[in-house]
């Protein structure tokens, strides 16, 4: 505990007259201003630095994008339909990005580490319907042998039925029950973000509107990471100045031990 100040001054100006280079002025209610000389750092404090010493107890706050959730749902439904007990064997049948999404969320589901906090939002959950719907349409076009250059134009020709929506909705509710209701993943209110942050993301970083809103939500929540499997978004945000790292699941798992 710091020693009691030797002398108090009535005004800050008076304290500044007696302050030496490097000294700091503080105020104590009822007594006045006093001068404190910062303690000199030890050799090992300087050796490791502030970042290392504070990272040990720092809570890592992370926002989960909609495509990560959609990928987890796709593999979960595949496991259910095939009744596959060996999930590792089934995972190999999917693209690496989908595998990594499932692995990350499974680690989050069973993690009990209090140094990590994970968030998503209502807006991200709504976007899951679109991600899964687009994946379904892409698979149908691939099965029909339609060349990739025509996909964008022909996507609208494939209509999703009401029962398709109901099944996606049921799978999403299952996800919510597993993750959100036991606080492994916390939901962030969709309306909470700064409008000017969205504007910067659209104007400076050329993000799509929904991506801009989600990253702005993550920034509002003071997240350190925004995890996505959207390669274009990662590329756009690689050197951003918003104080949030936009990266793939693989990068996050490499840098953090869950």
Bridge partners (DSSP) listed for residue 247: 227
- Which band of pLDDT confidence, cut at 50, 70 and 90, is reported for residue 116? very high
Average pLDDT over residues 149-157: 80
Average pLDDT over residues 53-64: 77
Are 183 and 109 in contact by the 8 Å Cβ rule? The answer is: no
Q: What is the pLDDT of residue 124?
A: 94
Q: Mean pLDDT check: name the lowest of 52-61, 93-102, 175-184.
A: 52-61
Q: Which residue has the tokens 């990739």?
A: 148
Residue 241 has pLDDT above 80, yes or no: yes
Coil, helix or strand at residue 24: strand
- Which band of pLDDT confidence, cut at 50, 70 and 90, is reported for residue 1? very low
Average pLDDT over residues 89-98: 75
- Residue 185, phi then psi, degrees to nearest 5: -140, 125
Residue 2 has pLDDT above 60, yes or no: no
Are 228 and 83 in contact by the 8 Å Cβ rule? The answer is: no
The residue ranges of every structural domain in the chain are 1-39, 55-255
Q: What percent of the chain has pLDDT over 70?
A: 89
Residue 62 has pLDDT above 70, yes or no: yes
CATH number for domain 55-255, candidates 3.90.1300.10, 3.40.50.261, 3.40.50.1010, 3.40.190.170: 3.40.50.1010
First to last CA, the chain: 35
């Amino acid at each position: 505990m710091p020693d009691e100040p030797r002398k108090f001054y009535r005004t800050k100006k008076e304290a500044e007259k007696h302050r030496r280079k490097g000294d700091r002025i503080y105020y104590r209610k009822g007594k006045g201003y006093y001068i404190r000389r910062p303690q000199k750092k030890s050799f090992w404090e300087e050796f490791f630095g502030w970042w290392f010493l504070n990272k040990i107890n720092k809570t890592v706050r992370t926002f989960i994008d909609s495509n990560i959730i959609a990928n987890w749902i796709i593999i979960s439904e595949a496991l259910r339909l095939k009744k596959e007990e060996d999930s590792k064997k089934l995972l190999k049948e999917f693209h690496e990005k989908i595998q990594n999404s499932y692995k990350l969320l499974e680690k989050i589901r069973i993690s009990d580490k209090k140094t990590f906090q994970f968030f998503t939002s209502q807006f991200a959950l709504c976007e899951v319907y679109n991600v899964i719907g687009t994946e379904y349409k892409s698979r149908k076009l691939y099965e029909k042998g339609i060349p990739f250059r025509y996909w964008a134009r022909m996507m609208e020709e494939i209509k999703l039925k009401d029962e398709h929506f109901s099944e996606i909705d049921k799978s999403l509710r299952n996800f919510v029950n597993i993750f959100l209701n036991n606080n492994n993943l916390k939901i962030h209110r969709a309306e909470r973000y700064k409008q000017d942050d969205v504007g910067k993301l659209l104007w400076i970083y050329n993000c799509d509107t929904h991506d801009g809103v989600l990253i702005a939500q993550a920034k509002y929540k003071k997240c350190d990471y925004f995890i996505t499997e959207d390669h274009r978004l990662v590329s756009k945000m690689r050197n951003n100045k918003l104080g949030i790292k936009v990266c793939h699941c693989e990068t996050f798992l490499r840098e953090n031990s869950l």
